[in-house]
Structure 1
């Protein structure tokens, strides 16, 4: 409705130019009609510029509001997760189970290190997507593991294209994940570099809708950016578990 309203307003401003044009055509021998046409055109130009600036400012304000809301939701989810970990740690300490408390501390430390590596991936769009994933998806949990010292902006490849491809691959699983009858859906994503290629391992455990065509859709999303390895699903995996390995070649 807002887009239609602004479009009609812009069309009305442009159509108003027909009035001075008609005056010039009817009174083409009069000098005042030409002056009216020039002044009208100048006023219309200023009005169009002001209108475009207002639209641009409104779009920027809307994007800023969405970004702020997403940031608040992300921080809220992380605060909830850290509170749960601290409560578990506090419980073990009260029960004097120091070995269990040490395990919790190690788990917190490892998680903090992984989140730090994700935030320093070298591509803001991908890092923001992975960190804020919980705010946009409630059908599966995403766990990300990044090799130490891996920075996408320092690799010999197109970081923007790689970022869009990885987001697209995760979204393929995200949109196919269905609400499980028991437990939860979990996608583990691991990024590492090996010689002249970047390797991404996707391990999914849970329910998937139309699971038979998932490989085809992933390959379609890959296009020419990478290649999916064949014969990678261990025989002992159940029908609710699958592992997908994708190779992204690095130029020399």
Structure 2
């Protein structure tokens, strides 16, 4: 595995150590082959270190570029939503329909409060995923309802594992959601915390591909950190309607 991650040049530099090693073996009675081997090894180490450092820097640059592009897309999508709301508000004001304008302002206030809660969830990776979900998925709408004052970083869980688990749960439905003319696919998440730990209620309504494997995939996402406590299967299979209760016990 380690050699697979190396570039061909770095691997060739390491293999070239066979040359001074052979000289040491052949002319073992002389001192110069040993010096050659030491110098050659030093040069190879410098080359490999430099190339691996450059490779790591390029990888970080790609991750940064991806994060920046994701942020731009999210901001652009939110700007488009706000412009639509403002145009509707402007239209109602011009028509002097103040009651309708108040409804639009209330809707904007609710959305701003919702986004504020998500941004303060306490785990940057998870907050970024939830806030940008609309920009990366066009087959399913994600609605998140959080308990007031819920900050996941203040709970005794490993933030990385918890974030990976929640993102994995959402992606199970995201990658199975199938566009349909019969209605919109919606996944609702409700996060709350009690003395027993964190609880997530997932309610999905819409079309699903490979629906029979959903439970198995959800349990894989929860391995070692959460439990699938309750599953309400749909009575009929034409349009899926599932409700799942997932519990994350507090660490002992």
TM-score (norm 1): 0.87
**Is 1:200 equivalent to 2:200 in the alignment?**
yes
Change in CA separation of 1:12 and 1:156 when aligned onto 2, cut-off 3 Å: closer
Contact 2:231/2:245, CA 8 A, preserved across alignment: no
- What is the match of residue 120 of structure 1? 120
How many residues are aligned here? 250
Change in CA separation of 1:40 and 1:192 when aligned onto 2, cut-off 3 Å: same
Change in CA separation of 1:94 and 1:243 when aligned onto 2, cut-off 3 Å: farther
In structure 1, how many angstroms separate the alpha carbons of the residues matched to 2:150 and 2:32?
71
Report Cα offsets for 1:159-187 as digits up to 9, x if no partner: 33322221111111111101112442121
Change in CA separation of 1:244 and 1:57 when aligned onto 2, cut-off 3 Å: same
**Is 1:12 equivalent to 2:12 in the alignment?**
yes
- What is the match of residue 222 of structure 1? 222
- What is the match of residue 141 of structure 2? 141
Secondary structure of 2:175's partner?
A: helix
* Matching of residues 183-194 of structure 1 within 5 Å: 183-194=183-194
Alignment RMSD: 2.7
**Structure 1 residues without counterparts, runs of 5 or longer:** none
Secondary structure of 1:135's partner?
A: helix
Q: Displacement of 1:147 after TM fit?
A: 1.5
- What is the match of residue 165 of structure 2? 165
Change in CA separation of 1:219 and 1:78 when aligned onto 2, cut-off 3 Å: same
Q: Displacement of 1:222 after TM fit?
A: 2.7
Change in CA separation of 1:152 and 1:33 when aligned onto 2, cut-off 3 Å: same
In structure 2, how many angstroms separate the alpha carbons of the residues matched to 1:240 and 1:182?
12
Secondary structure of 1:149's partner?
A: coil
Q: Displacement of 1:151 after TM fit?
A: 0.6
Change in CA separation of 1:39 and 1:205 when aligned onto 2, cut-off 3 Å: same
- What is the match of residue 56 of structure 1? 56
In structure 1, how many angstroms separate the alpha carbons of the residues matched to 2:15 and 2:72?
44
In structure 2, how many angstroms separate the alpha carbons of the residues matched to 1:161 and 1:17?
42
Q: Displacement of 1:139 after TM fit?
A: 1.1
In structure 2, how many angstroms separate the alpha carbons of the residues matched to 1:249 and 1:5?
38
In structure 2, how many angstroms separate the alpha carbons of the residues matched to 1:25 and 1:250?
61
- What is the match of residue 243 of structure 2? 243
In structure 2, how many angstroms separate the alpha carbons of the residues matched to 1:133 and 1:226?
23
- What is the match of residue 178 of structure 2? 178
Secondary structure of 2:7's partner?
A: helix
In structure 2, how many angstroms separate the alpha carbons of the residues matched to 1:231 and 1:47?
56
- What is the match of residue 27 of structure 1? 27
Contact 1:186/1:205, CA 8 A, preserved across alignment: yes
In structure 1, how many angstroms separate the alpha carbons of the residues matched to 2:59 and 2:53?
10
Secondary structure of 1:71's partner?
A: helix
Q: Displacement of 1:50 after TM fit?
A: 1.0
Change in CA separation of 1:7 and 1:221 when aligned onto 2, cut-off 3 Å: same
